[in-house]
Amino acid sequence: MVVYKMTDKTMDNQSDFSPHLKRKRRFLLFQGRPETVSLLLLIVIFAGVSFINPSFLQISSLVDIARASVVTGLFALGVFTVLAAGGIDISFPAIAALAMYGVSTFVLDVFPEMPIALIVFSSVLIGLILGSVNGVLVHGLRVPALIVTIGTQYFYRGILLVFVGTVWLMEMPSQMTDFGKWSLLDIESNNGVTVSLPVYFLVLPIAAFTTWFIFNRTLMGRAIFAVGGNAGVAERLGYDLRKVRVFAFGYAGGLAGLAGIIQASANRMANPFDFAGTEIGVIAAVVLGGARITGGTGSVIGTILGVLLVTVVNNVLVLVGIPSTWQRVVVGAFILLAAAFFVLRDRKSAR
């Protein structure tokens, strides 16, 4: 009896001719990089919209998308951090509104000459404190983070509306409006309108790099993924669950405070009801970027791609004649598509 030994070279040759193995290779590529789904959707949307409306590819349109992505991107990076740690946070809009409106009111009424750097720092600090409260409560009460952040969302909103104020601030401090006007570059579109890429846009890539560094170059990043993957195992391995959860929620709160003050500076007004209802869109962006609600997975690149996908959908549908009321329908369809992909991926992995 002759026995043939399959060598590595033989297997390579076989894989070159086996359609099944080729499909498996392609699937493994998607499995390792789930954000590829969002990237492909972005490419399809860009191609389709530019075919229907060639003016979409103007630099001014891309600048508009970049500018519109800043606040959502900051929120999404915070939500991604919390999701990676195995939690979920829906209180970030209330944190952003309280920090933004509280700081703006304080500057107008108490300290009109406060430097913009201190204004930004104060808003971030307030968000950091409020977010850390979420982390302490989630760890201390031992209840799902969703329940805790629903409660704190109403609590923070209540503090804002009862003790801080309910009146729209239509005249902002000059240093905040100047910050919102500072421009990196000005671009004139084909219709003669000048579009500016603001300086505050730089905040998003800086925050993205910081988040990437935390997850890929620090022990805290490893701890966040470990706790999100399996908190019980992570605790037995020596990770401090309390420290990880407080850091994750505090970091998300700090980014929310930063997003709030940027929103107020860019719009040159402060509304105590700002950001209400933004939770779903932000969480959708993070999920579309490859993060699981159950925790332990995701990436910064995927989160940014998810933010771009949601921002593009919200801004370009009208360019192709689709009413803006269809935005939620399209985003919901994308979420279902991503969910189907993740379920298929998990089934393939189980096999």
Q: What is the pLDDT of residue 188?
A: 75
Distance CA 166, CA 9 (A): 72
Q: Can you name the CATH fold of 35-346?
A: ABC transporter involved in vitamin B12 uptake, BtuC (1.10.3470)
Amino acid occupying residue 4: Y
Distance CA 214, CA 245 (A): 14
Q: What is the DSSP string of 68-132?
A: HHHHHHHHHHHHHHHHHTT-----HHHHHHHHHHHHHHHHHHT-TT--HHHHHHHHHHHHHHHHH
- Angle value at C-alpha 191, between 68 and 53, nearest 5 degrees: 65
Q: What is the pLDDT of residue 32?
A: 53
Residue with tokens 């701890």: 223
Q: What is the pLDDT of residue 15?
A: 45
255, 78 contact by CB (below 8 A)? yes
91-to-106, 133, 296, 330, 342 alpha-carbon distances in Å: 22, 11, 21, 25, 26
96, 274 contact by CB (below 8 A)? yes
In order along its 351 residues, the chain shows pLDDT tens digits of 444 444 444 444 444 445 554 555 454 444 556 678 788 888 988 888 888 877 777 888 888 899 999 999 999 999 999 999 999 999 999 999 999 999 999 999 999 999 999 999 999 999 999 999 999 999 999 999 999 999 999 999 999 999 888 889 998 999 999 999 999 888 877 677 778 899 999 999 999 999 999 999 999 999 999 999 999 999 999 999 999 999 999 999 999 999 999 999 999 999 888 898 899 889 989 988 888 888 888 899 999 999 999 998 888 777 777 777 777 788 788 778 777 777 776 677 666
Q: What is the pLDDT of residue 8?
A: 46
Distance CA 120, CA 132 (A): 18
**Strand 183-188 relative to strand 194-198, pairing:** antiparallel
Q: What is the pLDDT of residue 335?
A: 77
Domains of the chain, residue spans = 35-346
Element (H, E) at 184: strand 183-188
